[in-house]
């Protein structure tokens, strides 16, 4: 399997898993219809992170420099909130729940990347 497709599938898995974990923590603020809904929302989030997030990062570069990168938390929350607006089966009631979901997805992404990096060094 080629490398870009594998990276997209990994991002899809990480986004879906992160959304599911965040929804279990904030069940009153983050709701989804069923398991398929969270998988589709994870795919849309992976595509949004692939296409729209780099543009957001470039436009918000002064804020990122001023806040020493902490503005990325807001950008991640915005992308999650955008996905909830684009895909109606995923419902996020407020922006701060989306920011929390973005932090959870970032943490899951970090853990998966660390595990894959360790596995890559063993072989």
pLDDT digits over 104-118, tens only? 999 998 998 888 877
* Structure tokens belonging to residue 22: 């965040």
Give the model confidence (pLDDT) of 10-36 as tens digits.
889 999 999 999 999 988 889 888 888
The answer to whether residue 61 scores a pLDDT higher than 80 is: yes
- In Å, how far from its chain's centre is CA 94? 16
């Amino acid at each position: 399997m080629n490398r870009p497709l594998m990276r997209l599938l990994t991002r899809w898995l990480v986004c879906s898993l992160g959304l599911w974990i965040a929804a279990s923590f904030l069940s009153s603020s983050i709701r989804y219809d069923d398991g398929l809904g969270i998988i589709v929302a994870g795919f849309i989030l992976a595509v949004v992170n692939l296409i729209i997030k780099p543009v957001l990062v470039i436009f918000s570069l002064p804020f990122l420099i001023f806040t020493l990168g902490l503005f990325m938390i807001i950008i991640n929350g915005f992308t999650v909130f955008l996905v909830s607006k684009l895909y109606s089966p995923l419902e996020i009631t407020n922006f701060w729940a989306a920011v929390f979901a973005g932090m959870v997805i970032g943490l899951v992404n970090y853990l998966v990347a660390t595990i894959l990096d360790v596995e890559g060094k063993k072989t």
